[in-house]
Structure 1
Amino acid sequence: MTFPCIAAARHFEYSAHVPLVIGAQRFGWIRRRDVEHLRRWPDVFEISSLAVRIHPRHDSCEARTAALEPVIAALHAEGVIVGWRNERYAIRQRLYDAPLAWIERAAARFFGTRTFAVHVNGFVPARVTGEAPQLWIARRSVLKSTDPGCLDNAVGGGIGDGYGVGDTLVKECWEEAGIPAPLAREATPGRTLHVLAEIPEGVQAEQIFVYDLALPASFVPANQDGEASAHWLCSAGNVRDVIARGAMTVDASLVSLDFLMREGVVREHECAGMAALFHPPEE
């Protein structure tokens, strides 16, 4: 059995992209064909065949944010940046670094900046089922801007402005599955995944914090924010088959595989390449 999500998570051709540079450090990846969209703003970007550099005259977070805002608005109006969220994401390398700039969430994929997310494997433990654990999976709303209608984890969401890992976990557990905060806080960490992949919107460079949450057998997820249209409780074997068919989003497939590997449902030799995703890509 093969799992296409593993290859998809590192489907990235370096030669087809140029780094987005601030100061002397890379903070993103831009597709070469998208660089042409940026040439009309020479006061914002210094562009060469090797890199797109935010002009050094913008030498603070506030200045970079102000310089990028009209660029992002114009590209959105032209349909180059899609899926507007009215949510700010920081440009930074690590989650708790000081931001170099703030940008609209939808623009993070265009610029290939690092994003951060929390996903939760909601499961009924083997001690309750009497056999292998069962996993709750969700179907994304057909109105979602990314992966509409695809299968997903019980809970998953990006870490936005003003939130940390724990805050996001509690918030998303309630919004996506109706899991109350005291129960959500019982989630335990799995492993951390690192995705670097070209996607239709640009580049996904994302660090995913995986959590497991044992749920009572009587609990049924109830979406609160309209982002999921249904939930199902599935056997571990069924979830493995769904992942193999590619019916689940890449992110959710990887998160579920991490759980299934740790539970012994999927063996490591079946997941060639998965181990590399637990480490940042070599760049």
Structure 2
Amino acid sequence: MAGLDPQWLASLRASARLAPARPRLPLIAGDTVIGSVEPDFLSQIRLQPLSDGRNTLSKTEHSGRPAWRLLGEPTAALDALALALREAGLAHAWRDEQLAVADAQGQRIGSVERAVVRVLGITTAAVHLVGQAEDGRFWVQQRAWSKSNDPGMWDTLMGGMISGADTLASALERETWEEAGLRLDQLRAIVHKGHVDIRRPCDDGHGAGYVVERIDWHHCTVPDGQVPVNQDGEVERFVLMDAGEMLEKMHANEFTSEAALIQAALLG
């Protein structure tokens, strides 16, 4: 079996560490930086003022540079901001799913609708599970063609966002069932293997988005007789691939970049 192509791997890793396409300003909730936005992006919307007449959203200064400040209880203020972005056609596909919002120390201060995390440059968290059959082949999924991101591309056995109500452990359990129809106690040797970090521009908000994400990934053995079956409509099919076929599809960029980074870390 041929190994990972060094030039392809270098390009893949570089694509996960890209600067914003255009300058961005800090987004502050209260006194805490929670994300970033393009300088005039939030000028396209208007929010109702607070009960004391102060602007809920305004340009300000932070550490000697321009910034956007969002006042009020963070979750409520972010909910209002998300709805305004949706009405202006600046949100991604609406999911009615809240993701955690944290301060610089990683402490949760609130939550926000998933559809606006990219345009607001808010850090997100995800979990993936790499599953190998007992003969060494890999269980991989083809993403549903209806997915808003990377439709029809190959992915790990399971990959999903960590919601505002989740811990890493509960997200691993929930997503493994929803995407693959497998319970963790049906799997063997589940081990946390590491994480990959993604920072790159994206098309959300007509090109104003910026992805900042940490993906924790695990590896397991799927015992013979256990076959993944999708439960939530987000997977087209599951197949078994040997390492050679998987590498071929990775080099052809048929896997999502996140899955390729994870599989490359395992195979390398």
2:119 partner letter: F
The aligned amino acid for 2:108 is A
Establish whether residue 74 from structure 1 lines up as the match of residue 84 from structure 2.
yes
Q: Which of 107, 115, 121 is the equivalent residue of 2:116?
A: 107
Q: 1:113-155: CA deviations, max 9, x gaps?
A: 111111000112xxx43xxx32111111111122222211110
Shift of 1:24: 4.7
Contact 2:29 2:74 in 1 (8 A): no
Name the structure 2 match of 1:54: 69
Instruction: Return closer, same or farther for 1:236/1:80 CA change in 2, 3 Å cut-off.
Output: same
Q: Select 2:265's aligned residue among 258, 262, 279.
A: 258
SS in 1 for 2:220: strand
Residue aligning to 2:95: 85
Give the deviation of 1:14 after TM superposition: 7.4
Aligned to 1:192: 195
Q: 2:52 maps to which residue? A: none
Asked if the contact 1:29/1:111 (under 8 Å) is kept, the reply is yes
Please say if residues 181 and 228 of structure 2, whose CA atoms lie closer than 8 Å, have aligned partners that are also in contact: yes
- Post-superposition offset of 1:224: 0.9
Please state how far the C-alpha of 1:88 moved relative to its aligned partner.
0.8
Number of residue-to-residue matches in the alignment: 248
User: How far apart, in 2, do the equivalents of 1:94 and 1:139 lie?
Assistant: 35
Amino acid corresponding to residue 35 of structure 2 in structure 1: G
Whether contact under 8 Å (1:95, 1:116) holds in the other structure is no
**TM-score, length of structure 2 as denominator length:** 0.83
Q: Which amino acid aligns with 1:134?
A: R
- Change in 2 beyond 3 A, CA 1:184/1:104: farther
Contact 1:138 1:232 in 2 (8 A): yes
Distance 1:93 1:223 in 2: 35
Match of 1:13 in 2: 20
The answer as to whether partners of 1:121 and 1:259 remain within 8 angstroms in 2 is no
Report the CA distance between 1:85 and its aligned residue: 0.7
| 1: CA distance, partners of 2:143 / 2:103 | 29
Give the equivalent residue in structure 2 for 1:222. 229
Q: Name 2:130's counterpart in structure 1.
A: 121
TM superposition shift of 1:184 = 4.7
Cα separation, 2, equivalents of 1:24 and 1:67: 14
2: CA distance, partners of 1:232 / 1:82: 30
Q: What is the RMSD of the two structures over their aligned residues, measured on CA atoms?
A: 2.3
Q: Following the alignment from structure 1 to structure 2, what is the Cα–Cα distance between the partners of residues 80 and 248?
A: 28
Superposed, which structure 2 residues align to 1:263-278 within 5 Å? none
Measure the CA separation in 2 of the matches of 1:71 and 1:169. 29
> Against the structure 1 CA distance between its residues 24 and 103, is the aligned structure 2 distance closer, same or farther, given a 3 Å change threshold?
same
What is the rounded CA distance, in whole Å, between the counterparts of 1:53 and 1:193 in structure 2?
A: 29
User: Following TM superposition, by how much is the alpha carbon of 1:186 offset from its aligned partner in structure 2, in angstroms?
Assistant: 4.2
Uncovered stretches (5+) of structure 1, i.e. residues with no partner? 262-283
Letter in 1 for 2:246: V
Amino acid of the structure 1 residue aligned with 2:173 = V
After TM superposition, the score normalised by the length of structure 1 is 0.79
Residues 44 and 88 in structure 2, CA contact (< 8 A), matched pair in contact too: no
Whether contact under 8 Å (2:142, 2:238) holds in the other structure is yes
The alignment partner of 1:13 has SS state of coil
| Alpha-carbon distance in structure 1 between the residues aligned to 2:16 and 2:193 | 18
Deviation (angstroms), 1:189: 0.7
The residue that corresponds to 1:270 in the other structure is none
Say which structure is richer in strand: 2
Conserved in 2, the CA contact under 8 Å of 1:30 and 1:110?
A: yes
Residue 172 (structure 2) aligns with: 169
Cα deviation for residue 73 of structure 1 reads 1.0
Could you list the per-position Cα deviations for residues 48-72 of structure 1 after superposition, in whole angstroms to 9, with x for gaps in the alignment?
58443324x52xxxx2222232221
2:74 corresponds in structure 1 to 64
How far apart, CA to CA, are the structure 2 residues paired with 1:51 and 1:184?
50
CA displacement, residues 68-106 of structure 1 (integer Å, 9 cap, x when unaligned): 32221121123210211101112104796232x321111
Give the 5 Å matches for 1:213-252: 213-252=220-259
Change over 3 Å in CA distance of 1:96–1:48 after alignment to 2: closer
Tell me which residue corresponds to 1:272: none
Contact 1:169 1:184 (8 Å CA) reproduced: no
Residue aligned with 1:147, SS: coil
How high is the sequence identity, in percent, across the aligned residues? 27
